[in-house]
Amino acid sequence: MPLFLRFCLVPCFLALGFGATARPEMVIVRTTAPPVLDGKLDDEAWAKSKLSLGEWLTYNPVRGDKLAQKTEVWCTYDQKALYFAFRCLDPEAGKVKTSISRRDQIFRDDWVGLSLDAMFTGQTSYDMFVNPNGIQADILTNSASGEDVSPDWVWESAGRQTEQGYEVEARLPLESIRFKSGAEVKMGLLFWRRVSRLGSSASWPAIQSGKSVFECHATAVFDDLTQPRALELIPSLTYSYNRDVESPGVWNTESEPDAGITVKYGLTSSIAAEATLNPDFSQVESDAFQVEVNQRYPIFFSEKRPFFMEGMSIFSLAGITGDGNMTASVHTRRIVDPLWGVKLTGTVGRVSFGTLSAADESPGRELEDGSVNPFLDKRRYYNIGRALYSLGKGTYIGGFLADTELGNEFNRVAGSDVSLRVGEHQSIGGTFLGSTSRSDAGERKSGISGQMTYGYSSDRINAYTQVEHYDEDFQMDTAFYRRTGVSTGWAFFGYNIDPDKKKYPWIRQITPLIFTRYGHDRIEGGHESIVVTGANFRFTRQGFLRIDWSTGKEPWAGRVYDTGGFRIFGNAQFTRWLNGSAFFFSGDGIFYDREDPYQGKQLNYEAGVTFQPTSRISQNVAYSHVDFDRASTGAHIYSVNLINTRSTYQFNRHFSLRAIVQFDSSRHRILTDFLGAYEPVPGTVAYAGYGSLFNKQAWREDEWHSGEGNYLTTRRGFFFKVSYLQRF
């Protein structure tokens, strides 16, 4: 065991309370007549399967209040599936918010659902949600990475509104989850519900402060349950037609049909393999435009390709948070054009593991500027391995290996991580990584990185702190991180105040807060610091408001500059059909130029509106504006205006039409993107799309000049994709 883990674990094991409080236990009744999913709870299967639950208590935004809206739950099973039913009573049934939307787009609605720890390891849960119209959402929650909304698994649901509220039924096929077969199978189970107009979420059992959801699960017992070893085949066909302008009236045309196949197989009841050959890794969804002018760090774009979205939470490392230097240990957007990919994931006893291998053809492409590519026709190979040993609910030690190779180049990383629960309110996480790399010219370098995170969470107090270090020569080609050569530490403290409900019924919670960071940047040559003070406000109607003020210093190119300013942002569901958000910042900024950096003043404001006049129509408009002036002279340096719009019409839960229009003033660019989507189940889909790109440019002296002339069509394309999931 690495020394890093030895020093971390010895004091923590002494304080760990693995003998957790006894959890409720439910024996689930088997059915011989599976229910018909229609949203009506009149099936024979529900007659003897109602669960006797206690009070549902809120966990967001205020913890521990009794939910006035009563919820009744049924659960049963057979040899093929688990079945759930909910009757959600509401004395103001006419105010229930719902929609007919695409999967995973229901979180502003009322919803009800469950969290299922099928392996009963306290490390991963299948979280499922259904709105009153039966539209689904699902999240895979992992003890290391938290919630991941990207995976989709096959399950069925139905819902209907009633005079008393709404009713929901759900069917979860056993092929869609992993569990350990046996004469007696135990799973962790928790139910939750959201009342949109109140902005309140509640659960049974109660989600207690300072505890992970895994520690709060009840125990569900199933007799004689066997995991099917499903074989899945997903063949896919794609066709794309693209035209790019070369000169006025001259277009380059590319037409490309393609085919691929993905195979998934359950090797055992808890181990699955997945392989894909010549996959279609094209994105159906366009990335929203973001401000790219004067950015010190690269912009993070989330993964949207199915193969790299499913089952990836196993590769997350403990303590990797949004406030740290590293955002993701495995950022698969780096694998641009895969030829093939292979994944193996599973659990054996207390050990969970995952491997990922892929070949990326993008480094071997011809360069757009016509220069010689030293890696022409070569591929970059990715090999990643991960394992963790469960010590209890949400607690583990783990190991990580990664190797990338391109020609003579390689990058290899090895490390360990630990996630611990100390008592009821405290948590500790840590990661240690070491890397060694070789360039194409044969130059070698090595480096280490490490971080430790501590958290304390109770009903009143939330406190977190982290220290981290990155050597200048540390390199990790699989990860997304901002920089190297830095050592920093940060701390956060917030205190929750619950106002009197009778005097202030519309204010749910007020949280004064302070955040501070201090560090040393060895590459830029200076110390950095920031202090943020402010408050969060939570209201009814899912309302949120944040007001803060910050002051700090940041080194850049051998000098230290001022940072910080005043910021306010928030959002609210004003009515069932109107949601709005806004952001404002005014303060100091830096012009990040190596040759001529200087102190600046920055103004940034944003606004967004989502308009839903009916349950089938959704219109979203978001606007962003940035101004930057030179502080010493007041000279205006640049302005950026971004507009992102999305219009959706949902004919039913499976078929939708969507139109996106985006504008970026800094790049003089307009993008239009139109899509028809048919998505009956994950894996079986049909898409047809058309897109155009318009750039402001003029043809002069035998070349294009950006920012001049009129907006011209510079690219247009059409694509079609179809895939089909077949289970054996």
Residue percentage of the chain with pLDDT more than 70: 95
Q: What is the mean pLDDT of residues 158-184?
A: 95
Give the pLDDT confidence of 473-483 residue by residue, as tens digits: 999 999 999 99
Beta bridge partners of 202: 58, 193
CA dihedral over 25, 30, 31, 34, signed as positive or negative: positive
Give the pLDDT confidence of 252-284 residue by residue, as tens digits: 999 989 899 999 998 887 888 999 988 765 556
Give the pLDDT confidence of 636-670 residue by residue, as tens digits: 999 999 999 999 999 999 999 999 999 999 999 99
Per-residue pLDDT for 13 more than 50? Answer: no
Alpha-carbon dihedral 432, 438, 439, 441, rounded to 10 degrees: 160
Per-residue pLDDT for 138 more than 80? Answer: yes
Quote the pLDDT of residue 281: 54
Q: Is 678 exposed, middle or buried (0-12, 13-18, 19+ CB in 10 A)?
A: middle
Query: 29-30 and 71-77 as β-strands: parallel, antiparallel, unpaired?
Result: parallel
Quote the pLDDT of residue 1: 34
The Cα 450–Cα 453 span in angstroms is 10
Alpha-carbon dihedral 118, 122, 124, 126, rounded to 10 degrees: 40
Please indicate whether residue 708 or residue 21 has the higher confidence score (pLDDT). Answer: 708
Q: What pLDDT band is residue 562 in, cutting at 50, 70 and 90?
A: very high
SS (H, E, C) 252-298: EEEEEEEEEEEEEEECCCCEEEEEEECCCCCCCCCCCCCCCCCCCCC
* 198-202, 275-279, 396-400, 615-619: range with lowest mean pLDDT: 275-279
Q: What is the mean pLDDT of residues 693-712?
A: 92
Q: What is the mean pLDDT of residues 241-251?
A: 93
**DSSP strands (E only) in 43-196:** 57-60, 71-77, 81-89, 111-117, 124-130, 136-142, 146-148, 156-162, 165-173, 182-195
Give the pLDDT confidence of 353-394 residue by residue, as tens digits: 999 999 999 998 888 777 888 888 899 999 999 999 988 887
Please indicate whether residue 193 or residue 151 has the higher confidence score (pLDDT). Answer: 193
Quote the pLDDT of residue 10: 31
Quote the pLDDT of residue 673: 94
Q: What pLDDT band is residue 290 in, cutting at 50, 70 and 90?
A: confident
List the domains of the chain with CATH numbers. Answer: 16-225 (2.60.40.1190)
The Cα 449–Cα 485 span in angstroms is 10
Angle at 231 between CA 226 and CA 233, to 5 degrees: 150
Q: Read off the pTM.
A: 0.85
The Cα 140–Cα 123 span in angstroms is 11
